[in-house]
Amino acid sequence: MPIKRLAFVMNQNKSGALEVLGRLREIAQAENVEVKETFEFPVPEGFLRGMDACCVIGGDGTFLSAASESTKWQVPIVGVNRGTLGFLTTYTAEEIEEIFPSILQGGYSVRSRGLIECSSHNGEADIALNDVVIKSVSASRIVHLNVFADEEFVTTYVCDGLIFSTPTGSTAYTLSAGGPLIHPDSPVLSLTPICPHALSNRSIILPDSVELRVENASADDQLGIAVDGQRNLSTSRDASIRVRLSSQRLPIAQRTDYSHFNVIRRKLKWSGGYAREIS
């Protein structure tokens, strides 16, 4: 639908972001769009309430900072990349200015992305668009983690930590740890050990219905939980951590001709004669 109320979320530390914001603000005001903006991270609670869309200008970290509020109010995010790779912020600064009037008039498609929900010992819970990472709070310590899937014992991982990833997050931390690329529409989550001591420990792809439980089997270590690399949940030495796919979804506004594989080819610099020809 046409965008009449638009929120801008901008990372002013990104080169050129202020200039992009200024030009997009002018375009929006010329289209009689009500505009509000923030430079705060994470996005202030309630900031997106009543908005038709949220335009994030920065990198994927800026995008992630708006994900929770976007999910809460079901406000689609338009991601403009002023960072590096930008798997989430798929619009370039050059193209967004040209097609922004069309976007404001409704020239975009909304696709929903899966989220991971993680809860700790005291009922504290959070959602992640990319991943939930469980490690020792001591950076150099190896952890021993018992993992259960729907209360069925999987194994005890001896490793630097575990990454629980959505399909969207498969191009983030888990990719660096040897995890698989997963199409964002896939109803699954992945579990990837970080530097496991058993060479046979590899990523596991699990269905969207599964609930995972993690027990700390390290006698003298405290675990930490990082949510999208931006927020932390508190843990108890003896309590389990639960991870599952959330029933909530994040709406993302993308080009009507958006192609996931085109993004992958460009961002990961896949080569080959045919790939270069059609990119």
Q: Are residues 121 and 219 in the same domain?
A: yes
Q: Are residues 120 and 97 in the same domain?
A: no
Question: DSSP per residue over 179-191, as a string?
Answer: PPP--TT-SEEEE
Report helix, strand and coil shares of the chain as percent, to nearest 5: 20, 35, 40
Please count the other Cβ atoms lying within 10 Å of the Cβ belonging to residue 67: 26
Q: Are residues 229 and 126 in the same domain?
A: yes
Question: Amino acid identity of 183?
Answer: H
Q: Are residues 46 and 94 in the same domain?
A: yes
Q: Which domain holds residue 232?
A: 115-247
Q: Are residues 47 and 166 in the same domain?
A: no
CA 112, CA 217: separation in Å to the nearest integer?
Answer: 36
Question: The domain spanning residue 87 has which CATH number?
Answer: 3.40.50.10330
Q: Are residues 13 and 35 in the same domain?
A: yes
Q: Are residues 238 and 161 in the same domain?
A: yes
Contact predicate 79/24, CB 8 Å: no
The predicted pLDDT at position 224 comes to: 92
The predicted pLDDT at position 42 comes to: 86
Q: Are residues 137 and 84 in the same domain?
A: no
The predicted pLDDT at position 257 comes to: 92
Question: The domain spanning residue 151 has which CATH number?
Answer: 2.60.200.30
Q: Are residues 148 and 243 in the same domain?
A: yes
Number of domains in the chain: 2
Q: Which residue has the tokens 């009037």?
A: 101
Instruction: Give the model confidence (pLDDT) of 162-221 as tens digits.
Output: 999 999 999 999 999 999 999 999 999 999 999 999 989 999 999 999 999 999 998 788
Q: Are residues 236 and 131 in the same domain?
A: yes
Active site residue 160: no
The predicted pLDDT at position 76 comes to: 98
CA 221, CA 236: separation in Å to the nearest integer?
Answer: 10
Q: Model's pTM, two decimal places? A: 0.93
Q: Are residues 136 and 70 in the same domain?
A: no
The predicted pLDDT at position 278 comes to: 61
The predicted pLDDT at position 83 comes to: 76
Instruction: Output the six-digit token pair for 272.
Output: 């080959």
The predicted pLDDT at position 254 comes to: 94
Among the listed residues 60, 126, 160, 228, the single catalytic one is 60
Cα angle 66-68-74, degrees, rounded to a multiple of 5: 90
The predicted pLDDT at position 276 comes to: 60
Q: Are residues 151 and 234 in the same domain?
A: yes
Mean pLDDT (10-residue bins), the chain, 279 residues = 96 93 96 96 94 96 95 97 86 92 96 96 90 90 95 97 98 96 96 95 97 91 92 87 97 94 90 64
